[in-house]
Amino acid sequence: MNETILKGILEIAYLIGSVTFVLGLKMMGNAKTARRGNLIGAFGMTIAILGTIFLFSEELVPFKLILIFAAIAIGSIIGWITAKKVEMTKMPELVSMFNGMGGACAALIGLIEFPHIINKMGPSHEGTGSLAFIIAGMVIGTISFSGSIIAYLKLAGKMNTIRLPQYNIINNAILLGILIFSVLIVFNGVTFPIYIVWVLFAVAILYGILFTMPIGGADMPVVISLLNSFTGLAAAFGGFLYQNKPMLTGGILVGSAGTLLTLAMCKAMNRPLSNVIFGAFGGGGAVASGADVTGNIKDIQVSDLAVMLNYSKKVVIVPGYGLAVAQAQHIIHELEKILEERGVEVKYAIHPVAGRMPGHMNVLLAESNVEYDKLVEMEDINPEFEQTDVVLVVGANDVVNPAAKTDPSSPIYGMPILEVDKAKHIIVNKRSMSAGYAGIDNLLFYDPKCSMFFGDAKKALTELVAEIKTL
């Protein structure tokens, strides 16, 4: 086929890919269209990949084509099976792992292309710009890869938070070394041996590990989002290198979206990003500083709670990670439907950093077919708590802790919270009195209006639903 025609077809394929990425991302901003947006973006990526392969098919021997399609098939099957089988509680770990693989791809591009560009440059130093893209993509992708793997291990409970003495100074020194080393390679690459890029690769892996290790558990949603933006940025540099429009568009969209989401979550916690990275808290179970908590804890029996909910006018449910762990999203939806049949208004209060990743609670409740308009964001639901008869907190902790408003010594002080303490009655379902992810005691439990409903969320809510049905 004529080369001009092939290039024209490729440009059309790339245009379709770029447009569908933008359209898909726009649709993913709305819960009702998010699934369709994801499929549209995947369709555009498929078109772009096939267009690239078939344009260069004449330059590839059949054996290489077979290897390419075999790799695509194997990766697709593994990704499909993994995504289908993963439990909702493990979704943050899956996101971290998939993001790490994206960073690894960007790093491999750099490692493979480095010797090619060095051999082309020669003494003339032509191609410095391409070398800069290679080094930037490789370093950022490597940091994202190793950091995401550490994030995965921490989220999966296979690794605790580790803080070396003066870890900020160590990390900043390594980062400065990476920057200086990278600049020297870009401007003096031909004078260095080819294997020097592997040294930079190893140092970047070390920095990614040291960067993520000290981040406290309560800050992991922010770190996941930040690492995601790193991967997008690394992909964008690859797009510059290959002059590949879908790769460039996708990388820019992922990088910018991840950055905006990171900043939005920092705002939701009332903490600057620098404080998350350099002053993290919630390090895997150690109780953080804060005022001593005194008072009495009272619990409530399932029969009393059933009567209270049954005769309420308005109930707000606050979902948290405990709901996901217990896989209780379906039974809580059943509770919602029963109460609504009896004339009770039911809403869900969603905090921006509830769960272990951005949007975790939204995805969890969508799985059980909760209507999207019942999910109310923090800014909109807070004014309604004063008119709420009962707030049912299921597995949430730090996002409802009044210490964020009243205790200057608390590490979460200043973080916007769901102001459930303004409701007439507060019911908290937890397995025990253990601290939340930030590692601090919850003042809400000692509020005179608060009663504890102890037990596994799924089992306790199942008993509650059965009790309400008898009324």
Q: Catalytic residue numbers?
A: 398
d(CA 175, CA 169): 10
Where does residue 190 rank: exposed (0-12), middle (13-18), buried (19+ CB within 10 A)?
A: middle
CA 196, 202, 208, 211 torsion-angle sign = negative
What's the CA gap between 297 and 57, in Å, rounded? 70
Q: 345: which strand partners?
A: 314
Interatomic CA distance for residues 471 and 468, integer angstroms:
5
Query: CB of 121 within 8 A of CB of 132?
Result: no
CA dist., res. 92 & res. 284, Å (int): 16
Whether the Cβ atoms of residue 323 and residue 457 lie closer than 8 Å to each other: yes
d(CA 229, CA 253): 9
Q: What is the DSSP string of 327-383?
A: T-HHHHHHHHHHHHHTT-EEEEEE-TT-SSSTTHHHHHHHHTT--GGGEEEHHHHGG
Q: Rounded distance, CA 234 to CA 228, Å?
A: 10
Asked whether the beta carbons of 403 and 444 are under 8 A apart, the reply is: no
Cα 118 from Cα 128, distance rounded (Å): 9
Residue type (1 letter), 6: L
Residue 413 CB partners (closer than 8 Å, separation 6+):
403, 404, 405, 407
282 close to 218: Cβ distance less than 8 angstroms: yes
Question: If you search the block for the tokens 């920057």, which residue do you land on?
Answer: 179
- What tokens were used for 249? 């568009």
